[in-house]
Amino acid sequence: MNSFRHSFPNLTQSPICDIIYQAYKVPFHLLDFLVKGMNQIVSIGTSHHVAPIEFREKLAFSEAQIIESLQHFRESDQVQEAVILSTCNRVEVYAVANAVRNADAAAKILVEFLSRYHQIGVESLKKWTYLHHNLETIQHLFRVTASLDSMVVGESQILGQVKAAYDASREAGGAGTILNRLFTKAFSVGKRVRSETTIASGAVSISYAAVELAKKIFNTLEGKTVAIVGAGEMSELTAKHLVSNGVSNVIVANRTYERAVKVAEKFNGTPLAYDTDLSFLIDADIVISSTNAPDYLIKRRPLADVMRKRKHRYMFLIDIAVPRDIEPDVSKIDHAFLYNIDDLEAVVASNLKDRQQEATRAEQIVTDEAKRFYDQLQIFQVNPTIKALHQQFREIADTELQACFYKTALSDQQEAAIASMTQAIVKKLLHHPMQNLRCAVNDGDADHGQYIQALQELFALDVNDDNSGM
């Protein structure tokens, strides 16, 4: 008994042990063997925040490697559940480890696995990775799905990537009861952050900033025509975003007509040869220019003639080239709106600043949701044990009552009174231990996992994981 009290002082001083000892006279030295740690939710990972791409490449998983690794975990007696997330910016393994005394031991399992699997030294792993345990793991995952940990705060791609990783793990048998609940909640938190904050609003790329400005000028892009001058990569990307936002016609003008044809095919557009008189811009509402030309391709005088022929309908010009393709004096033409790359970057910077301000609100949502989920998870792991223990005591009492009633001639009223008294005794016997167990969970007592495991082992409880209240 002294050995057990030294190892688990909180547990041996609790009413649970008193009940166990008084009712069953279980030798306390056996509890050293029976008591095990609570399942631990742990994660190990790396991202663009902490490691260079050279290390992230080494740690990355292909689809086949993910399935292979999940199979390894499933056959292991150390890891109960696992989900592997591998993107260009991050690699993370989330796991539920069992048969361990503490979170550090659980994390060690993941470190050793990654070291063996990717042939990376443990010291390198420690240098370029981060470890999270329990509540930290939950909060980190919620931050990831809410896009608070992304390179661009508020981007939407990560939520889909996490869903894909979770679906792959579930199909491979990697995710179980706890991770199913954890990831389902993470998706809910990600959606809540997007609906209750404006963290995802505002363009944060040059191409999207151009779309945002175009919408302000025209209100709607439906039916508008965009002209691409030079057909550079950034021009194509911007045109693609404009088309997805309603632009219906695309003109591609290039000094090399064959090149114009090739790009125009991507948008089902019209190829035209570039001409210094800019006549190809007469029907254009939006102009995007991005070339390596040493001189201005769009000058004030010829464009002013084009604007007169257009009867001064609005024209939005985007100069993404360095050096610039469009003469700055073009902005002096009535109804011509000229923006260069610095203007667009200023829009991006302003939107990023707004997102960072909204991120403060989002962080509070994530913190609150993580704490709430963690508390629910502890209760979730306690309730099946409490339910099973109550059921076992009731069944024993019912069996003994029926045996007693069979041997004794009692009236229905007497049998009912004895049955009622027996149930009351059962409730009183279990009241304080169960109350203390719930209090240990609510108060964050680190030993409550040992309490649960001791009860399950000592009473041979058949615990069914049928909670659905999270």
Question: Model pTM greater than 0.85?
Answer: no
pLDDT at 41 over 80: yes
Q: Using CA atoms, how far apart are residues 242 and 224, in angstroms rounded to an integer?
A: 9
Query: CA 232: distance to chain centroid?
Result: 35
For the chain, the domains span 2-35+376-458, 40-196, 206-334
Confidence (pLDDT) at 140 = 97
Q: How far apart are CA 329 and CA 371, in angstroms?
A: 58
pLDDT band at residue 146 using 50, 70 and 90 as cut-offs: very high
Nearest to 447, CA basis, from 141, 140, 31, 76:
31
pLDDT of residue 308: 95
Phi then psi for residue 222, to 5 deg, are -60, 125
Domains 40-196 and 206-334 fall in the same CATH topology:
no
**Residue-level pLDDT at 458:** 66
Under the banding of pLDDT at 50, 70 and 90, the label for residue 153 is confident
Please report how the helices 157-171 and 135-145 are oriented relative to each other, as an axis angle in degrees rounded to 10: 120
Q: Which fold has domain 40-196?
A: Beta Polymerase; domain 2 (3.30.460)
**Rounded Cα distance, 135 and 133, in Å:** 6
pLDDT (average), residues 108-112: 90
Write the pLDDT tens digit of every residue in 283-314: 999 999 988 888 999 999 999 999 999 988 99
Asked whether the predicted pLDDT for residue 27 surpasses 50, the reply is no
Catalytic (active site) residue 88:
yes
User: Is the model's pLDDT at 441 over the cut of 70?
Assistant: no
- Average pLDDT of the chain to the nearest whole number: 82
Whether residue 21 is predicted with pLDDT greater than 70 in this model: the reply is no
Average pLDDT over residues 245-249: 92
Please report the pLDDT score of residue 102 as a whole number: 59
Mean pLDDT for 34-46 is 70
CA 396 to each of CA 20, 89, 239, 352: distance values in angstroms, whole numbers, following the listed order? 16, 57, 75, 65
Cβ contact 48:128 at 8 Å: no
Residue 125 has pLDDT above 50, yes or no: yes
pLDDT of residue 325: 93
How much is the pLDDT for 203? 53
pLDDT of residue 370: 94
- What does CATH list as the number for 206-334? 3.40.50.720
Lowest mean pLDDT among 212-221, 286-295, 389-398, 441-450: 441-450
List of residues 6+ apart from 316 with CB closer than 8 A: 213, 214, 217, 218, 285, 286, 287, 337, 339
Residues of the chain with pLDDT > 90, as a percent, come to 46
